[in-house]
Amino acid sequence: MTNQPLKPGHGGPVPEPRTFSVPMRAPEPQCMGRSPRPYAIAAASFMFLCLAIMFGVIFFANKATDIGSSKRSLEAKQLGDLDAGIKHMLAEQRFASAAKKHPELAGEAFWAFALREGLLDDALLSKLSSLNSTTDLRPENREAFFKGTAPAQPWCSYTAPRMGELAELMKRSPEDRIVLVTFNSRNWSNYPENGVVVLWAGGERAEFLDFETAAEEFGITAEEWADPAGKLFGKKAPFQHTYE
């Protein structure tokens, strides 16, 4: 007799029901390999660092611009102080006498003479070295300077008219556009992006004159601008009355 599997309800054993196990979701570290939190922290730190660098660059760029602008303003103020000293000197009777005796004195020789003779206030000695000069220094031994000893290093950064012409030039109008004082050739490029500081005859304050303006208003060429001592001072407007 063939053995037949017993069916439910026929007196045989009831088979156990089949069960299926659903796999549980793996814990996050096992599922992802590593937690995303460290990556998020690293990304945020990198972004913060980039922002800090960007703002730092902007801050220091603005700071450098402010410093440059401040130095240019002080440079112009120095010429303003020299202008005030010249006007005070012209009001003294002694100047007329000195100008008759030394009409050709100009440039550095003029400044030295006027200081040593007391025509200019001795405090102006410190105003004759450009703030951005790489060559000129204020004389360390003021006493030796005023006694006639030439400083070991260059000290004068500015030009000046001839002494015999100064009084007449000071009467000219700013519209005449005549430069009385500017950088000498040694200091011509102290502010390459801004040009040269100039004190105009009859002007109220000094200002910077760049090459583009000089070329447009006075027809100065690049070759002439590059050689002020040889092609501008005492030769071409607006520098025809100022010398080294």
- Is residue 90 in a domain? yes
- Is residue 3 in a domain? no
pLDDT tens digits for range 87-134: 999 999 999 999 999 999 999 999 999 999 999 999 999 999 999 999
Can you list the alpha helix ranges (DSSP code H) found in 170-234?
Answer: 211-218, 222-225, 228-231
| pLDDT (mean) for 171-186 | 96
- Is residue 81 in a domain? yes
- Is residue 1 in a domain? no
- Is residue 99 in a domain? yes
Distance of alpha carbon 107 from alpha carbon 158, whole angstroms: 7
| pLDDT (mean) for 137-159 | 95
Cβ atoms of 76 and 83 closer than 8 Å? no
- Is residue 165 in a domain? yes
pLDDT at residue 20 above 80? Answer: no
Percent of the chain with pLDDT over 70: 73
Q: Domain total for the chain? A: 1
pLDDT for 41 equals: 74
Distance of alpha carbon 65 from alpha carbon 129, whole angstroms: 22
Q: What is the pTM of this model?
A: 0.73
For residue 84, the enclosing domain spans 48-231
pLDDT for 16 equals: 61
Which of 20-24, 98-102, 207-211 is predicted with the least confidence, judged by mean pLDDT?
20-24
pLDDT at residue 171 above 70? Answer: yes
Polymer length in residues for the chain = 244
- Is residue 2 in a domain? no
- Is residue 190 in a domain? yes
Query: Which residues 6+ apart lie within 8 Å of 108 measured at CB?
Result: 156, 160, 184, 244
- pLDDT tier for residue 203 given thresholds of 50, 70 and 90: confident
